[in-house]
């Protein structure tokens, strides 16, 4: 039974008792308290209906370690003072650490008890430090407004949700343990699907083996040494990254968080490096995106190759929202997304598992001479792989611990 019904029942009993005993004081008490309660109920109802609450985040995308500000606005646009206002504003359980906030109000997290006068506006600024990759939701907030006598209250829930995306680490390949000048192929060499003699990008010193018809005679005459024409590329080299989010052989029994985070950080770093090298980068995974709202359905991770400005930000946001549950095996994803007739695309596989079905699939790719690089983030020793396999062992939990520290 609600608080209001209990109060109404008690007042009704007092009124009946006063009428039955012909006691005016009891009748007056029940009527006066009932009128005050009804007036307070209307007071709180009007205050709750017109109350304004909103979040504003300084940055809705940030990196781990960044500090971002959250401003909470509360307005009472009515001429009725609201002496007792309880605000319940849920926070994510992890990922965002509250590092500073307002003073002068009783608050825990973003929940507080305060009061607002007529036409008063209240602003609170909180500071958060991003601690873990992911997508985090703030809100929706709810309020409880009491009447001035504390006899009645009205609850209201707001609809605004605010999402904050914490992007993964982006490291240099050297910090990941990948030491090579062009670990995924030379983009300038891969750019030549064929040489276009009409498109001259410049000249370089002659190298043994250059055909005589490619000699740049004007540059040779100007410099006094043999120079070779450099033609512009006829296509943009492509790099396709496949991310395996499965970290244990039986995915439904759990995961190893350190290996998943290392794999995601590796993917982000490779994408950043490849885009700097002017590759068109695509991303596919057997994972799915986390739900931004409870009504969302699981969405697969498919990012078509592109070298456009801002593409790295899109990839990092996708990786930040990547869930820890594999929808299927990574070899199934690779079969569906790879074009068997496109031999010019370099493929990078980031995985912490090299199970027999995956090794069989990779052996088939190598037999077809498809450019393939494996970045292994697992803990177990590398199993037997076909001769000539380009595999980099990144160190598992030890590497992730060094990155975090």
Q: Tell whether the model's pLDDT for residue 194 goes beyond 50.
A: no
Most confident of 108-112, 136-140, 305-309: 305-309
* pLDDT at 263 > cutoff 80: yes
Whole-model pTM above 0.85?
A: no
Mode of pairing for the β-strands spanning 142-146 and 153-157: antiparallel
Dump the DSSP string for 218-276.
HHHHHHSS-EEEEEPPSS--EEEEEE----SSSGGG---HHHHHHHHHHHHHHHHHHHH
For 84-114, give one letter per residue: b (16+ CB within 10 A) or e: bbbbbbebbeebbeeeebeeeeebeebebeb
> Could you read off the pLDDT of 10-23 as tens digits, one per residue?
767 776 766 677 77
For residue range 51-88, list pLDDT tens digits in order. Answer: 998 888 888 889 988 888 888 899 999 998 998 888 88
* pLDDT tens digits for range 239-256: 999 999 999 887 667 788
Q: How confident is the model at residue 27 (pLDDT cuts 50, 70, 90)?
A: low
Q: Give phi and psi for 228, each to the nearest 5.
A: -115, 140
The predicted model gives 368-396 an average pLDDT of 88
Q: Quote the pLDDT of residue 220.
A: 80
Residue scoring higher pLDDT (216 or 117)? 117
Amino acid 65: pLDDT: 87
- Angstrom distance (rounded) from CA 371 to CA 345: 7
The Cβ of residue 44 has, within 10 Å, a number of other Cβ atoms equal to 25
Q: Report the share of the chain in percent with pLDDT over 70.
A: 79
Averaged pLDDT of the chain = 81
Establish whether the linkage from the previous residue to 258 is cis, with ω within 30° of 0. no
Determine the 3-state secondary structure of 325 from DSSP: coil
| Sheet strands side by side (includes 82-88) | 106-108, 111-116, 82-88, 142-146, 153-157
pLDDT of residue 110: 72
Residues above pLDDT 90, as percent of the chain = 26
């Amino acid at each position: 039974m609600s608080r209001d019904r209990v109060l109404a029942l008690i007042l009704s009993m007092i009124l009946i008792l006063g009428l039955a005993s012909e006691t005016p004081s009891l009748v007056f008490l029940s009527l006066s308290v009932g009128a005050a309660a009804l007036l307070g109920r209307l007071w709180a109802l009007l205050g709750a209906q017109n109350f304004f609450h909103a979040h504003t985040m300084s940055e809705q995308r940030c990196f781990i370690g960044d500090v971002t500000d959250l401003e909470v606005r509360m307005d009472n646009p009515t001429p009725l003072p609201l002496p007792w206002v309880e605000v319940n504003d849920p926070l994510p359980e992890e990922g965002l650490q509250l590092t500073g906030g307002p003073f002068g109000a009783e608050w825990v997290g973003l929940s507080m008890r305060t009061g607002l006068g007529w036409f008063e506006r209240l602003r609170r600024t909180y500071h958060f430090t991003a601690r873990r990759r992911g997508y985090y939701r703030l809100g929706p907030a709810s309020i409880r407004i009491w009447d001035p006598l504390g006899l009645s209250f009205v609850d209201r829930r707001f609809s605004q949700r605010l999402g904050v995306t914490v992007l993964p680490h982006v490291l240099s390949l050297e910090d990941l343990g990948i030491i090579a000048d062009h670990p995924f192929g030379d983009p300038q060499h891969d750019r030549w699907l064929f040489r276009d003699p009409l498109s001259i990008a410049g000249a370089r010193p002659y190298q043994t083996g250059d055909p005589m018809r490619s000699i740049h005679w004007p540059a040779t005459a100007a410099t006094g040494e043999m120079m070779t024409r450099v033609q512009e590329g006829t296509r943009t080299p492509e790099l396709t990254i496949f991310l395996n989010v499965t970290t244990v052989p039986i995915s439904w029994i759990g995961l190893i968080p350190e290996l998943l985070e290392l794999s995601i950080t590796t993917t982000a770093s490779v994408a950043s490096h490849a885009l700097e090298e002017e590759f068109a980068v695509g991303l596919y995974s057997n994972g799915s995106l986390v739900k931004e709202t409870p009504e969302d359905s699981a969405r697969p991770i498919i990012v078509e190759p592109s070298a456009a400005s801002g593409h790295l930000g899109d990839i990092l946001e996708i990786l930040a929202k990547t869930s820890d549950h594999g929808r299927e095996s990574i070899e199934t994803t690779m079969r569906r997304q790879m074009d068997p007739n496109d031999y010019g695309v370099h493929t990078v596989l980031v995985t912490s598992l090299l199970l027999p079905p995956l090794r069989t699939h990779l052996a088939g790719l190598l037999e077809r001479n498809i450019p393939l690089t494996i970045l292994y983030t697992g803990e177990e020793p590398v199993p037997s792989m076909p001769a000539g396999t380009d595999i980099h062992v990144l160190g598992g939990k030890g590497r992730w611990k060094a990155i975090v520290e």
